[in-house]
Structure 1
Amino acid sequence: MKHDFMSHDLHLPELTFRGMLLGVLITIIFTASNVYLGLKVGLTFSSSIPAAVISMAILRFFKDSNVLENNMVQTQASAAGTLSAVIFVLPGLLMLGYWQGFPYIQTLLLCACGGCLGVLFTIPLRRAMVVNSDLPYPEGRAAAEILKVGSQNHGDSAKQSASGMKEIVSGGIFAGIINLFTNGFHYLAGEMSFWFGVGRGVTQFPLGFSTALLGAGFLIGISSGIAILVGMIIAWGGFVPYLTNVLPMGDAKSVESFAMAVWKEKVRFIGAGCIGIAAIWTLITLAKPIVEGMRISVQNMKMSGEERETHRMDTDMKPSTIALVFLLILVGLVVCFYSFVSAVDISPALMWTLVICGIVIALCIGFFVAAACGYMAGLIGTSASPISGIGILGIIISSLVVFAIASANDLFATDAGVKFATAMALFMTSVVVCIAAISNDNLQDLKTGQLVGATPWKQQVALLIGSVAGAIAIAPVLNLLYEAYGFTGALPRAEMDPSAALSAPQATLMTTIAQGIFSSNLDWDYILIGVGIGIIGIIVNLVLKSTTATLSLPPLAIGMGIYLPPSLEMPLVIGSLMSYFVGKYLVKRAKERSGELADADVEQCNRRGVLFASGMIVGESLIGVIIAVIIVISVTSGGGEDPLSMVGKDFANTAEWLGLGVFILTIAYFVNLVLSTKFNREEALEIQRINEEEHK
C-alpha cells in the first residue's frame, strides 16, 4: 500500500521502541568508531547514511516498517558522528596533567547537556534554515534519497537496502582484518617513511596504510585532499628541511628524530595559526546569513499558535516540553561545573562565579555556534563543517573570560592555579563543542526529515535520545583508548611507546592555545607565520572560486596538512585523488551507457563507494577499540603491551613492505568495486518519478 508521506493525516509508526533501540545500538557503535578515528587523525565521519542503510536492512524484516521509522533511526544514530567531536577538546585535560582519566559522571553530564542544548538551540532555527532556506544540505538530501528508495519492502528496493548493508559490512570486515594484522598481530606495518637529506637538513616522503583514512579521503573530496597535500608540502617540503638546516640538533639521537622534533615543536604551530585564521574567516563570511537566520527564528518564536503553520510536518516540540528539558539541562550543567570546580581549594564566591560563567558561556556562545554550525552544515555538509574551528574560537573566548576572573582573584600566583585556570577553559569549551557538533548535525537531519515527510518534534526527541546514548558511550571508550594507547603528551604508563600514542591533534592544539594565553610562553612567531599562510590560502581560495566553476583550496585543510602527522595525511590524499579520478571515469562511462540517466548512474556507483568507505572506517575503528580492550586487560593482569603480537621487532622492515603491498591491493579492490557497479535503471526511474511528484 502506498502512502502520501507528506500528508498531515498520516498515521504510521515513526518514533517506535524498536527503532529507538536499534538507534541506540547503532549510536554506540558509531560513537566508538568516531572517537577512535578522531583521536587518531582528528577527523570524524557522518554516520547518517550508513545508519540509514543499516536501519533499512534490519527493519525491512518487519512488515509495518516505513521510511519515517527508518528516518528516525538514522536521525538518532547520526548523533554519534557528531557528539564524539568533544574529543577535539576534552583529552587536553589529560595532556595538561589535570585529569588522570575521564571521570564518568562529569564526562557524561558534559556531553549529554551540551548535546541536548545543541538540539534545543536548533529548534528555533528550523524554519529559518530548513523550511524557508535554499541551503543545499548535501548529506541531508543524499540520506533522503536513500531512504525514499530503500525503505520500500518489496522488489528492487528491498534488494538495494540489502546490497547497501552488504557494502558496509564487507568494507568493515575487510578493514577490520587488515587492522587486526597491523595493530594486533603486527604482520603488517601501518606506515613507512623514506628519509632523504636536503643540504645539512632532512625531510621525508611519508606513506600511511590506514584503510579507514583511505575511506575518509574518498569521502572528503578532491579539494580538501589537494589542500591537505599543499599543507604537507609546505611543512615537509619547506619548513622542516629549512629549519633542520639552520637549527642545532642538540640532544637528538638521529637526524630523523631531530626532524620530527622540529615539526612537533615548531612547524605544527604554523599549522595552528593557519587553522585559527581560516576558522575566523569562515565565521566572518557566514556572519550576515547567520544573523539573518537568527532574526527570522526570533520572529517565529514570537508568533502565536494561530499565526504558525499547524501541519504535522511543521510542529516542533511544545514550549512546555522545551522548558522542562532546558531546566533539566541547566541542573545538569550546574552539577557538572560544580563537581569540576569544587575539586579545587578556592573560595565559594570564586567557585560559584566560575560555575555561572561556565553556564553563561555555554548558553550565549552555544546559541551563536548552533546557528553558525547549522548554516555551515547546510552549505557544505556535516563532514566538511569545521567544528575544530569553532573550538578554536571557543577556547580563545573561554580562556579570556577565565583569565580575567583568575587575574582578579590571584589564581596565577601558583602553578596549580594556572593549571586549574587552563583546565577550566578547556572544560567550558568542551560544552560549546558538544553544542556545535549536535547543531551541526541536527539541521541536516531535519532537512532529511522534511524531504521524506517526518514530524519535526519526533526527530527532535530522537536526537535528544541519541545525544544521551552517545554521551553514555563516550567516557568508557575514551578511558579504554587512553589506557591502551595513550595520547600524545599524556601516557598512562611510563613504559609505553610514545610513537604508538593517539595524536588527538585538535585537543593538542586547543591545549596549546589555552596554555599560551595563560602562561604567555607561546611561540607566537610560528603562529603568526601560520596566520600569514592562512591569509594567502584564503586569497587563493577566493580567486579560485571567483574564476573557476569547481576549483577551491580550503585554507582550513591547508592548516590541517601542516598540523597533522604526515603518515596519517597521505592515505587521505590518496583517497581523495582516487575519488576524483574514479569519478571522472564514471561520468564519461555513464554518458555512454545511460544517456539521459547518466547522473543517476554516477550516483549509484558513488553510493556504493561511499558505503564501502564508511564500512572501512567503522571496521578499522571497531577493531581498534577491541584491540584496546585486549591491551588493557593484558596490562592490568600483568601481561605485555602487545598481547596479540605474532612477530618480533626484527620483522619490522618486512612488515612495512607487506603493509605497502596490502595497501596497494586495497586501493585496487576499492576502485574495482566502484567501477563494477551495474546501473539499476528501475531505481533511477523511481527516484526521478519521486522527484517529479515533489515538484508538482
Structure 2
Amino acid sequence: MDRHRQLSARALLGGALLGALLTPCNVYAGLKIGWSFNISIVALLLASGLWALLARLRLSAPLAIGEGNITQTTASSAANIISGGLVAPIPALAMLSGGNLPAVELIAWVFAVSFLGIWVAWYLRAGLIVRTPLPFPTGRATAEALQEMFRQGREARLRLRVLLGAGALAAALKWLDSGRWALPRPGLGIELPAVGALAGAPAISAKNLTLSLDPSLMLAGFGAIIGVRAGLSLLLGALIAWALLGPLGLYQGFILPGATDPAASWFATMIEWLLWPGVALLVAATLTRLVLQLRAARAASPGTGRDDDGATLHRALGLALASALVVLAQTLIFGIHWLLALLAVPIAFVLAMVAARVVGETGIPPIGAIGKVSQLGSGITAPGDQTANLIGANVAGGAAGQSADLLNDFKAGHAIGATPGYQVIAQCLGVAVGSVVGSLVYLRLIPDPATMLITEQWPAPAVATWKVVAETLGQGLAALPPSALAALLVAAGCGVALTLLEHRHGPRRVPSAPALGLAMVIPASLSLTLCLGSLVGHALARYRPRLAERFLLAAAAGLIAGESLSGVARALLGVLG
C-alpha cells in the first residue's frame, strides 16, 4: 500500500465532517434505546461515494485505500464519543444532582475520558492484533469493506445509493411523524379488566402497557442488524415485563397506574418497579459473561511488549498525559479527592483490557458490565458518594468503550497495512470533534434531564441502569420494596443461569439474557419494532442471501442515520423554538 496516501488533509477533514454529521445519530439512539451504531462502514460508503463523484467530474483524484481508512477512523472515533458518558453516567449524575454540567466542562470531561481510551487501545494493539491476533469482527468487516470498495467501484456506488435512499425515506417519515401528521401507533387489541387494587377503574388497555407498534424505521434498522435471536429475546422480554409482570403488579398494587385515559402510556410509573428486575438481569448476565471470558482468556493473556512500529516512547508518553488529564478533570470539575481520582486510572486500564479481549473475540463490548464493576469498586472506596461512584465508573466504562472501538479501527488498518501512528492522529482529531458536537447536541436535546429522561419519549435505559446502581449503593438494598427485591433476586438468578446455559450449549437455543433485561427497561413498543426488523432481516438473509449480503447493512444503516438525523433536527428546532 502507498504509505504516502494515508494521512492527507482531505482524509482527516472528510472524517471529521462525517463524524460531526453522524455523532448526533449515536447520541439520539443512545438516549432512545441505550445502543449505539458503529459508523465505520457508513463513513466508508459516504466518503468513497463523494470522492468517486468528484473524481468522475475531474475535480479531485480518487480516494486511496489508506485515505479511506483514515477517514473511517476519524469518523468512528467521533461518533463513538458517547462511550465517554454522554448517554449513561453523565445524564444519571445530572438527574441526581439537579442539572447538566456547563458546556465547556462537559466537553472537557468527555474528551479526557475518550482521549485515555485512545492510548489504552494503542498500548493493547500489539498484544491483541499483532502478536495474538483476535478476530475483532467489526474491524474485520470494515477491512473487507475497504478492500471491496477499492476493488469494485460500481458495487460501492450501488450500496451508497441504497444507504442514501433508505436514509431519505426514514428521515422524511420521522419528520412527518414528529410534526402535525403523526403516524398511527396501533395497539395489539389487548384489553384487561380492572381487578384487585384497580377495582372500579377503567380496563387496562394495550397502550397503557406500551404494547403498541412503534412506526420507527430506525428501530427496524437496528433490528435487522442485531439479528433474529436478539430480536425474539426482546419480544419475549417485553411480553414477560409488560404483558405479565406489569398487569400482575397493577392488580396486586405494587405497581402504580398512570392516567385513566386508555390511550395514555403508563411507562413512567410502571418503570419504577420493572426497572429492578430488568437491571438485575442485565447486570447479572453481563458480569457472568465477563467472568467466563476472563477464565477462558487467563491461559492466553497477551503481553504488552514492544509495538511493531517502534513507538513505545510515544505510546507511554501519551498514556501518561491522558491519565494526568483524567485525574485533573475529576478533581477540578467534580471535586473528587485526588487519591480516588488517581485510583480510577489503573482500574480503567485493567477493565479496558478485559473489554478489549471480549470485543476481540465476540464483537460485543461489555461496557455496561465494566461500568457496574467499577461502580461496585467505587461503592467500597467511597461509600455513599454518588458523584465519585458515577464518575469513577465513567472513567472505566468510557476508556473501555473507546479503546474497544478503536481497536476495531486498528484491526482494519492492520489488515491493509496502514500506519498505526497515523491512525492515532486521526483518532485524536475524531475524539476532539465528537466531544464538541456530541456534548452540544446532548445539552440541546436534554436541557432538563430530571424531567425529560426515563420517560416514554426518552427511555434512556443506560441512564436508568447507572442511576439505579448509584442510588442503591448509596442507600443499600434495604431501601427497596419487598416485591422489587424479590424480583431483583429472581431476575439476577435467571441472568446467571441463561448465561451459563449459553456458554455450555451455545447461543442458538438460549434466549439472549441482555436483550431480555433491556426489554424490561424500555417501552414494549420499541421491542416489538426491533423484533419485527430482525425478522425481516432474517427472512431476507435466508431466502435472498446474496441480496442481503450486498445491501442489508447499507439499508439498515441508512434507516438508522436518516431517522436519527431527522429526529435530532426536529428536537433541536423544538428546543430552539
Number of the residue aligned with 1:682: none
CA distance in 1, matches of 2:483, 2:508: 35
Number of the residue aligned with 1:200: 195
CA distance in 2, matches of 1:444, 1:564: 29
Q: What is the SS of the residue equivalent to 1:209? A: coil
- Answer yes or no: is the 8 Å Cα contact 1:334–1:359 preserved in 2: yes
Q: What is the SS of the residue equivalent to 2:37? A: coil
How far residue 166 of structure 1 moved from its aligned partner, in angstroms, is 1.4
Number of the residue aligned with 2:182: 187
Measured against aligned partners, the alpha-carbon deviations of 1:302-343 in whole angstroms (never above 9, x if no partner) come to: xxxxxx7xxxxx316x2332344334424432442233244x
CA distance in 2, matches of 1:326, 1:136: 25
Number of the residue aligned with 2:101: 102
CA distance in 1, matches of 2:257, 2:505: 50
2:24 to 12, 22, 32: 32
Structure 1 position 490 matched with structure 2 position 444: no
After TM superposition, the structure 1 = structure 2 runs for residues 443-482 of structure 1, keeping only pairs within 5 Å, are 443-482=407-446
How far residue 64 of structure 1 moved from its aligned partner, in angstroms, is 5.4
CA distance in 1, matches of 2:482, 2:131: 44
| Distance verdict in 2 for CA 1:248–1:572, change over 3 Å | closer
After TM superposition, the structure 1 = structure 2 runs for residues 322-333 of structure 1, keeping only pairs within 5 Å, are 322-333=315-326
Structure 1 position 254 matched with structure 2 position 285: no
Q: What is the SS of the residue equivalent to 1:90? A: helix
CA distance in 1, matches of 2:442, 2:8: 30
Number of the residue aligned with 1:164: 159
| Distance verdict in 2 for CA 1:167–1:334, change over 3 Å | same
How far residue 541 of structure 1 moved from its aligned partner, in angstroms, is 5.0
- Answer yes or no: is the 8 Å Cα contact 2:267–2:455 preserved in 1: no
How far residue 47 of structure 1 moved from its aligned partner, in angstroms, is 0.7
- Answer yes or no: is the 8 Å Cα contact 2:379–2:474 preserved in 1: yes
| Distance verdict in 2 for CA 1:38–1:18, change over 3 Å | same
1:427 to 391, 403, 407: 391
How far residue 124 of structure 1 moved from its aligned partner, in angstroms, is 2.8
How far residue 518 of structure 1 moved from its aligned partner, in angstroms, is 1.0
- Answer yes or no: is the 8 Å Cα contact 2:249–2:255 preserved in 1: no
Structure 1 position 315 matched with structure 2 position 309: yes
Number of the residue aligned with 1:388: 368
- Answer yes or no: is the 8 Å Cα contact 2:227–2:534 preserved in 1: yes
- Answer yes or no: is the 8 Å Cα contact 2:255–2:270 preserved in 1: no
| Distance verdict in 2 for CA 1:101–1:532, change over 3 Å | same
How far residue 270 of structure 1 moved from its aligned partner, in angstroms, is 0.6
CA distance in 1, matches of 2:408, 2:257: 51
Structure 1 position 279 matched with structure 2 position 286: yes
CA distance in 2, matches of 1:16, 1:176: 32
Number of the residue aligned with 2:36: 44
How far residue 449 of structure 1 moved from its aligned partner, in angstroms, is 1.3
CA distance in 1, matches of 2:4, 2:44: 18
CA distance in 2, matches of 1:171, 1:250: 41
CA distance in 2, matches of 1:541, 1:586: 32
| Distance verdict in 2 for CA 1:229–1:160, change over 3 Å | same
- Answer yes or no: is the 8 Å Cα contact 1:538–1:554 preserved in 2: no
- Answer yes or no: is the 8 Å Cα contact 2:138–2:408 preserved in 1: yes
Number of the residue aligned with 1:144: 143
- Answer yes or no: is the 8 Å Cα contact 1:208–1:571 preserved in 2: yes
- Answer yes or no: is the 8 Å Cα contact 2:356–2:404 preserved in 1: yes
CA distance in 2, matches of 1:271, 1:628: 28
Measured against aligned partners, the alpha-carbon deviations of 1:567-586 in whole angstroms (never above 9, x if no partner) come to: 22111111111111221112
Amino acid at match of 1:505: P
2:518 to 560, 566, 569: 560
Structure 1 position 632 matched with structure 2 position 575: yes
Which range moved further: 35-44 or 71-80? 71-80
CA distance in 2, matches of 1:80, 1:281: 31
| Distance verdict in 2 for CA 1:126–1:552, change over 3 Å | farther
Measured against aligned partners, the alpha-carbon deviations of 1:20-48 in whole angstroms (never above 9, x if no partner) come to: 11111111122111001110111111111
Q: What is the SS of the residue equivalent to 2:123? A: coil
Number of the residue aligned with 1:508: 464
- Answer yes or no: is the 8 Å Cα contact 1:27–1:79 preserved in 2: yes
Q: Identity, % of aligned pairs?
A: 23
Aligned residues: 555
Measured against aligned partners, the alpha-carbon deviations of 1:340-368 in whole angstroms (never above 9, x if no partner) come to: 244xxxxxxxx6xx23312321x112112
Number of the residue aligned with 1:574: 532
How far residue 174 of structure 1 moved from its aligned partner, in angstroms, is 0.7
How far residue 619 of structure 1 moved from its aligned partner, in angstroms, is 1.0
Amino acid at match of 1:315: D
| Distance verdict in 2 for CA 1:193–1:254, change over 3 Å | farther
Amino acid at match of 1:610: L
- Answer yes or no: is the 8 Å Cα contact 1:191–1:209 preserved in 2: no
CA distance in 2, matches of 1:116, 1:198: 55
Number of the residue aligned with 1:91: 91
- Answer yes or no: is the 8 Å Cα contact 2:212–2:525 preserved in 1: yes
How far residue 99 of structure 1 moved from its aligned partner, in angstroms, is 4.6
Number of the residue aligned with 1:116: 115
CA distance in 1, matches of 2:316, 2:67: 27
The normalised TM-score by structure 1 is 0.74
How far residue 176 of structure 1 moved from its aligned partner, in angstroms, is 0.5
CA distance in 2, matches of 1:525, 1:72: 53
CA distance in 2, matches of 1:11, 1:499: 50
CA distance in 2, matches of 1:290, 1:28: 37
Amino acid at match of 1:470: G
- Answer yes or no: is the 8 Å Cα contact 1:75–1:445 preserved in 2: yes
How far residue 510 of structure 1 moved from its aligned partner, in angstroms, is 0.7
- Answer yes or no: is the 8 Å Cα contact 2:282–2:495 preserved in 1: no
Number of the residue aligned with 1:355: 338
CA distance in 2, matches of 1:330, 1:379: 27
Q: What is the SS of the residue equivalent to 2:212? A: strand
How far residue 371 of structure 1 moved from its aligned partner, in angstroms, is 1.4
- Answer yes or no: is the 8 Å Cα contact 1:28–1:469 preserved in 2: yes
Amino acid at match of 2:107: L
CA distance in 2, matches of 1:290, 1:544: 18
Measured against aligned partners, the alpha-carbon deviations of 1:568-614 in whole angstroms (never above 9, x if no partner) come to: 21111111111112211124xxxxxxxxxxxxxx3x53341111111
Number of the residue aligned with 2:124: 125
Amino acid at match of 2:122: I
Number of the residue aligned with 1:72: 70
Structure 1 position 584 matched with structure 2 position 527: no
CA distance in 2, matches of 1:122, 1:470: 18
CA distance in 2, matches of 1:537, 1:219: 23
Q: What is the SS of the residue equivalent to 1:91? A: helix
Number of the residue aligned with 1:613: 556
- Answer yes or no: is the 8 Å Cα contact 2:386–2:474 preserved in 1: yes
After TM superposition, the structure 1 = structure 2 runs for residues 361-400 of structure 1, keeping only pairs within 5 Å, are 361=344, 363-381=345-363, 384-400=364-380
Q: What is the SS of the residue equivalent to 2:213? A: strand
How far residue 255 of structure 1 moved from its aligned partner, in angstroms, is 8.3
CA distance in 2, matches of 1:30, 1:541: 34
CA distance in 2, matches of 1:431, 1:253: 40
| Distance verdict in 2 for CA 1:179–1:278, change over 3 Å | same
CA distance in 1, matches of 2:505, 2:171: 43
How far residue 65 of structure 1 moved from its aligned partner, in angstroms, is 2.5
Amino acid at match of 1:605: A
- Answer yes or no: is the 8 Å Cα contact 2:456–2:523 preserved in 1: no
2:13 to 21, 42, 64: 21
| Distance verdict in 2 for CA 1:261–1:628, change over 3 Å | closer
How far residue 194 of structure 1 moved from its aligned partner, in angstroms, is 4.3
How far residue 91 of structure 1 moved from its aligned partner, in angstroms, is 0.6
CA distance in 2, matches of 1:621, 1:132: 39
CA distance in 1, matches of 2:106, 2:241: 35
| Distance verdict in 2 for CA 1:567–1:271, change over 3 Å | same
Number of the residue aligned with 2:199: none
Measured against aligned partners, the alpha-carbon deviations of 1:459-509 in whole angstroms (never above 9, x if no partner) come to: 2222222122211212101111013xx54x4349xxxxx956412111122
- Answer yes or no: is the 8 Å Cα contact 1:182–1:190 preserved in 2: no
Structure 1 position 217 matched with structure 2 position 197: no
- Answer yes or no: is the 8 Å Cα contact 1:15–1:72 preserved in 2: yes
How far residue 547 of structure 1 moved from its aligned partner, in angstroms, is 4.4
CA RMSD of aligned residues (A): 2.7
| Distance verdict in 2 for CA 1:605–1:19, change over 3 Å | same
CA distance in 1, matches of 2:248, 2:229: 27
| Distance verdict in 2 for CA 1:133–1:263, change over 3 Å | farther
